[in-house]
């Protein structure tokens, strides 16, 4: 299935705010000082590293929101794997406008492609196991929606988008309510029929106690590979199994081999380096 | 000089938006389902790694904007170096409120502390040379102001905040206007007396041609250590010298040894991993 | 389980906007003309009809956002059943401030209590059957979050909050994709492990074809009581059953008697009359 | 006189916010999962009940703001009376986009048409009397402007838009200031020459005392038909007479027969059921 | 009657935005560099010229929104006449916070007091005639509400707040509709009973034609003193008479002597110089 | 060098808000009542006084944001000198739309042209001296960006845009820190290499003490012509010299003759009268 773009309506305010953050109170004083107002320019958005691209719509909006007369022709789609030197888009228009939007466009594409690229590496690493690579709520402030989109662009899956769209009972909740079984029932009753309920367990003993409960998923936190394997067997398909806890590119394949359904990785969104992307003269 | 906090007025809207991003349309349905409305809780914000802390005000606002009755007692100030296990703050209040704000608070502190920590390492690495470690405009969309603050918390310095507060003439500008000397004069005339003008040069030949111009700084882009040393000598204190181009923790000391005044590092803000920080039960 | 209030953070912007909508560009010119600035007043928020109250926090915010010196003492909690004449809150402060906030406060409480009251009647009507009364996305523009809260205050349950938090495959989707079974599989694969999938079926034949699919719920649209009864039997607990289609207070009990798990009623939010509430002099 | 549309500028922010309220953080995950990105669709907006239409511009904006490539062809204008089955508009474009905007569009049209339809019934009921049917400030939070527009679409008239555009002295004001005659003079002096002043009176005795005052209108609250008739005679055209107080479709004609100029009805905006409208496949 | 303050709710967003406009992206870098974070300061807001003060609440909010720990003690109320050297307020708190808010506070008070002062001069000039001095819609973009407030502080009256709260038929309208009498009837019918209707006339012939129409006011535009006198006589109290057209402090008394009810002066808001106000060390 | 326009992106929100401020909650009720919806009109924006035009883009946006079908053809560019009667633009479209946007468009152009015109007079007055005429932070609340643009349109120069883009050490700062020399060093160290530092001095003695410091500019506040001449000589080109303090059109030439580099004038933005501009029927 192809990756679904986010409607412009959803991302325009963010792109607009990011442009304003860079234009400040006087705009691009360098380009305005040096370049005649109607001087036309052509430029190429180019990958300087190999990886997976995400954020082409953000780049398009950066250029066209700043100047409706700018043209943006994408040459690759989000989710594509590119090599260093690959041209991602041709852009043309007033030189001033393109230079003023350059940093905003590049910052979006390099940040989101960084996330997509790391996700893709994880996704490749777990093949041929069935495990999905999934992000968490450990996202950069203000970018929850777009970073989760970047994870999808990399072939990953999304966990909860917020505190409100699914129940995840964690250790601190149990610390408060005490009775783990009561907690699950209580949660199940408190939410509507379209809301899933997941429980975090840290030990196989905890897991044992909840196998008959109306859960949709269980989060196996910081378990060893042996524990994970055993947990998957214990669950026996009753509900989804999710492994988490400092997963790395090195460890992810062995985790997938335990048979878990989902591996969630906070680092996809909180610690990915950018994919190097730049705007070059001409095309 | 101590690090100056950003006024709450400047950061409240961002913290508020980030809380809303997590609360979504139904709020924290898990805590609401499991924890009595007035159940009180105490928790500690704890560093899981050593590094430099930034973002304590963001954490305070996350907890207190969500619930004015929550108490946040900071135990370390932004800019402090902490070790794994150090407690950063004591937080108390309604358990529901604290759990609902937890992720927002932790996401801010871990992201900003990640930037501050990498900055500090660079700053330490260049000692005893005079070079300042400086960030760029390669910041995460929407977080320009706060990431530049995090760089300051790490002991770094800030370059331009946007396209509008200083002139930086880059290769693309020269490509358009042709005459490098004319460009500098043109820029100098176009802006007010409180605005600095910097010129990017890629070769010593270019530098030679501009030594007598009314510049405030020169950006020596992607030069070798030998070239940098020679450039610094050529400039002879006429204006500030700034080195840039894929600077790493490994290379930064030798760059500083060339005598440049400033070393700018995009990776501080575009590719720093988080500093691991968490909310633990009790204090 | 007690009803969880929405954090002030989530509702303040709406209350603030609604106050501004009434204050316009010159404020309350009548009270300003007639009442001395510091004249104090006491008033009571009173129910003029019996029903279920919802929106007390909105009323509190209306009064206190307009004037921080106003006092609002709630005497009943959201979700309470009240009779005509019951006092809901005591309010005191500057007369001008209370009168300027009166309409905003009353409009919120009467609208939300209207929804809660109708919901409660439906909930009572289906007892002792297990069916939950559930709202839809047919909410008043701009009030999705708060109307769904009012449904909960009336004892009802919430369906999807938007297009994004669960999959609901409807007739138009099937019209496009053709193959109903393929559609379910496609949807299941496209979304994360924390997202539920529901399918709308209009006939028992359609239902028959999907009984073995990985669905979380089935929406039985506009079926007769006989069909519903049969559908519930066919599903046999494999997934949740939801009945919908012009449900009224008269018909809801018989629908519940068919054994469906959920009955969804658009009219709860799109056509509820207000509960009559007013601000009376003194307390 | 034809009904004047509200400029798009005035309603776009509301439509945009309502779309976002439904799209949430991941957009229309069902349509995205099932329907190819460029699959085209045609649909008709259809009335399921007879009544007066209002809100066609809101529907147009819902579809076209979400996707600029969507086409919306209105077949009826706001203020038109339609029958069940009448097609209101033809819409075409990407199926995904149309389905994602459907609920927003329908919620606006059904809510506003509900108000317009009830208004029209009242307006028809008072013919051939001169009385205008008028709304109040008892509007749904956030929708003051648009609900008052819907009243106009139904042939009704608008009372004050807020606390600031006219003076209305009510019982609580009199309770505070004591002297009813002084209050009117005070109000008249406090406001500019373009602001009208209305006084609420509950008895004929009160009315008697104010007949010589510089009033623009008098609000006859909760009076019997006999009292209203007498009040109209007493006023004798000096200023406008307005009747209010739980007016129903049943009682409105007799109230109009008393000769009052205006009948104000809060229920038009606070308790109207929707007019049933839906999006059907094809056209 | 005392001047009614605008609720903080109405002006806070503007003060907040104005503070942000000055703080920019890094805050007050000068004060932060030089003054210790907790250094306390006392300062006085002082008038450097005589005139009428308006905007004290804006100053209070500028200081206290930037830092909740700042104290603002007003010594004069809006509408007061002050002399050069008069202290308007005592302010104390962190020096950094006071200096960072200084310009915002002073800009508001000096701008609004400038308007109030010019208004007051006009108001004094027309005594003992009954004419009210009234502003227009020629206000500074974004400041309609607050500049009209400043006019009231100066003892002036407000004309329409916008295009929507009263009808004013001007020459361009007549040019289009042709028939001046028809236009008045058409307008009267199109609006609710709480909306006033004013007609602009440029000649006595035009005035003659409309004397029997249901108007609330007539705008006598650019008429000579003789024409105004005659116009007032012709109108004979049927409706309010308003004179306008390049009114100056020199001409206003003679205009008032013609007996008009209102004199409207665009220059009050579009061309008033500031009243010089400053923040001095200590109190 | 030609004046650089501000990107629409930067000014649209302000124009939109100003239109809404005038449209209020019901729009242009006069035009709606009198003019058929599709009646077309042509109008000219005309200068009634000679001066320098600024704000043509604001006028264009006022008309076209209100109605995308309106046409705006500018006949002069910002920065042009025009005479009374000169036509600035031809506008055509629906009469209702043009009339509804008229006041917003005219208010922007007349306010900004007023500033540009006064600036130009000052700029002309100082010729042939080198002194630049410069604005301050004494701008109208909310209009910092656009008023500074108007100053540029008049040929003037811009000082700081806010507290954050340059250091300006003033008397109050010195009062707190005591040591003037230490203050300059402290400031220089606290800010990045792209930030300028200016010091205010009130006497030649103060100036004497700081001549060897790393300053970029010195603000000579309220000095006599003799003092200014001497100060310029003392500085000897080490850094820029700026004169300030109640500069008038009468005094500015003699100030320029002292040889200062910059003359800053608060009155440009805080006390300029408008340039009279109007919308006339036809073209």
pLDDT in tens, B2-36: 699 999 999 999 999 999 999 999 999 999 999 99
- Tell me which residue in B5, B9, B144 faces E16 most closely, judged by beta carbons: B9
DSSP three-state, residue D24: coil
**Tokens representing F2?**
């030609």
User: What pLDDT score does D177 carry?
Assistant: 82
Predicted TM-score of the model (pTM): 0.97
User: What pLDDT score does A2 carry?
Assistant: 67
User: What pLDDT score does C32 carry?
Assistant: 96
Annotated catalytic sites of F, by residue?
Answer: 103, 138, 170, 200, 221
Distance from CA of D128 to the nearest CA of C (A): 29
pLDDT tens digits along F145-159: 999 999 999 999 999
CA–CA separation, E13 and E257 (whole Å): 42
User: What pLDDT score does F127 carry?
Assistant: 96
Interchain contact F193–C (C-beta under 8 A): no
Chains touching C, CB cut-off 8 Å, 3+ pairs: A, B, D, E, F
Percentage of chain B lying above the pLDDT 70 cut: 99
CB F216 within 8 A of CB F196: yes
CA–CA separation, F177 and F170 (whole Å): 11
Q: Which residues of A touch B58 (CB under 8 A)?
A: 141
Q: DSSP assignment, residue B212?
A: T
Interchain contact A145–D (C-beta under 8 A): yes
pLDDT tens digits along F178-213: 889 999 999 999 999 999 999 999 999 999 999 999
Tally of CA atoms within 13 A in the half-sphere of E182 that contains its CB: 10
User: What pLDDT score does F246 carry?
Assistant: 85
Q: Residue D161 and residue E158: Cβ atoms within 8 Å?
A: no
Mean pLDDT of chain F: 96
CA–CA separation, F3 and D54 (whole Å): 47
* D224 has a pLDDT exceeding 70: yes
Mean pLDDT of chain B: 96
- Tell me which residue in D1, D134, D196 faces E190 most closely, judged by beta carbons: D1
Q: What are the residues whose beta carbons fall under 8 Å from the beta carbon of E33, sequence distance 6 or more? A: B1, B4, F167, F186, F187, F189, F190, F191
Q: How far is CA F212 from CA D259, E10, F181, F215, in A?
A: 89, 50, 10, 8
Q: What are the residues whose beta carbons fall under 8 Å from the beta carbon of A179, sequence distance 6 or more? A: none
Q: Which residues of B touch E102 (CB under 8 A)?
A: none
- Tell me which residue in B20, B25, B97 faces C161 most closely, judged by beta carbons: B25
Name residues 26-55 of chain A within 8 A of B (Cβ): 26-35, 39, 41, 43
* D1 has a pLDDT exceeding 80: no
Does residue B128 have a cis peptide bond before it, meaning omega lies within 30 degrees of 0? yes
Percentage of chain A lying above the pLDDT 90 cut: 96
Q: Which residues of B touch A271 (CB under 8 A)?
A: 114, 272-274
Q: DSSP assignment, residue A245?
A: S
* A86 has a pLDDT exceeding 90: yes
Question: Per residue of chain C (283 residues), what is the pLDDT tens digit?
Answer: 469 999 999 999 999 999 999 999 999 999 999 999 999 999 999 999 999 999 999 999 999 999 999 999 999 999 999 999 999 999 999 999 999 999 999 999 999 999 999 999 999 999 999 999 999 999 999 999 999 999 999 999 999 999 999 999 998 898 888 889 999 999 999 999 999 999 999 999 999 999 999 999 999 999 999 999 999 999 999 999 999 998 999 999 999 999 999 999 999 999 999 999 999 999 9
* A177 has a pLDDT exceeding 90: no
Mean pLDDT of chain E: 96
Segment F97-126 shows an average pLDDT of: 98
Establish whether A200 is a catalytic residue: yes
Q: DSSP assignment, residue F275?
A: P
Query: Would you place residue B246 in the very low, low, confident or very high pLDDT band (cuts 50, 70, 90)?
Result: confident
Segment B37-51 shows an average pLDDT of: 96
User: What pLDDT score does B2 carry?
Assistant: 66
Q: What are the residues whose beta carbons fall under 8 Å from the beta carbon of D205, sequence distance 6 or more? A: none
* F2 has a pLDDT exceeding 70: no
Task: Please provide the size of chain F in residues.
Answer: 283
Side-by-side strand order, sheet with F277-281:
F71-74, F87-94, F40-47, F277-281
Side-by-side strand order, sheet with F217-221:
F132-134, F262-264, F240-244, F217-221, F197-201, F167-169
Segment F259-281 shows an average pLDDT of: 97
Q: Which residues of F touch E101 (CB under 8 A)?
A: none
CA–CA separation, C201 and C222 (whole Å): 9
Beta bridge partners of D198: D168, D217
Smallest Cα–Cα separation from E55: which of E24, E89, E9? Answer: E89
Distance from CA of B12 to the nearest CA of F (A): 18
User: What pLDDT score does B178 carry?
Assistant: 82
Q: Which residues of A touch F1 (CB under 8 A)?
A: 33
User: What pLDDT score does D178 carry?
Assistant: 82
Q: Residue C10 and residue B20: Cβ atoms within 8 Å?
A: yes
User: What pLDDT score does D172 carry?
Assistant: 84
Beta bridge partners of B277: B47
Q: Is the ipTM here above 0.90?
A: yes
Distance from CA of A37 to the nearest CA of E (A): 27
Q: Which residues of B touch D21 (CB under 8 A)?
A: 25
Q: Residue E66 and residue B9: Cβ atoms within 8 Å?
A: yes
Q: What are the residues whose beta carbons fall under 8 Å from the beta carbon of C30, sequence distance 6 or more? A: C99, D163, D167, D168, D169, D170, D173, D187
Annotated catalytic sites of D, by residue?
Answer: 103, 138, 170, 200, 221
């Amino acid at each position: 299935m192809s990756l679904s773009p986010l409607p412009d309506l959803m991302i325009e305010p963010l792109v607009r705010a990011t442009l304003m953050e860079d234009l400040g109170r006087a705009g691009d004083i360098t380009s305005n000082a040096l370049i005649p107002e109607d001087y036309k320019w052509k430029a190429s958005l180019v990958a300087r590293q190999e990886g997976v691209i995400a954020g082409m719509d953000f780049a398009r909006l950066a250029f066209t929101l700043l100047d409706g007369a700018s043209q943006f022709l994408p040459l690759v789609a989000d989710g594509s794997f590119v090599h260093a030197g690959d041209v991602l888009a041709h852009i043309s228009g007033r030189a001033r406008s393109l230079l003023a939007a350059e940093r905003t466009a590049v910052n979006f594409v390099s940040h989101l492609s960084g996330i997509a690229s790391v996700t893709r590496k994880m996704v490749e690493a777990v093949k041929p196991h069935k495990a999905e690579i999934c992000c968490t709520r450990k996202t950069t402030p203000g970018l929850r929606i777009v970073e989760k989109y970047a994870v999808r662009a990399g072939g990953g899956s999304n966990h909860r988008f917020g505190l409100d769209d699914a129940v995840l009972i964690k250790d601190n909740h149990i610390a408060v309510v005490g009775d783990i079984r009561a907690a699950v029932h209580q949660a199940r009753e408190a939410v509507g029929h379209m809301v899933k309920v997941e429980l975090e367990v840290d030990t196989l003993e905890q897991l044992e106690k909840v196998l008959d409960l109306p859960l949709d998923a269980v989060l196996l936190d910081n378990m060893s590979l042996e524990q994970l394997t055993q947990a998957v067997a214990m669950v026996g398909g009753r509900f989804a199994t999710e492994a988490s806890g400092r997963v790395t590119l090195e460890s992810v394949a062995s985790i997938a081999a335990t048979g878990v359904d989902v591996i969630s990785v906070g680092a996809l969104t909180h610690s990915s380096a950018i994919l190097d992307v730049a705007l070059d003269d001409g095309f």
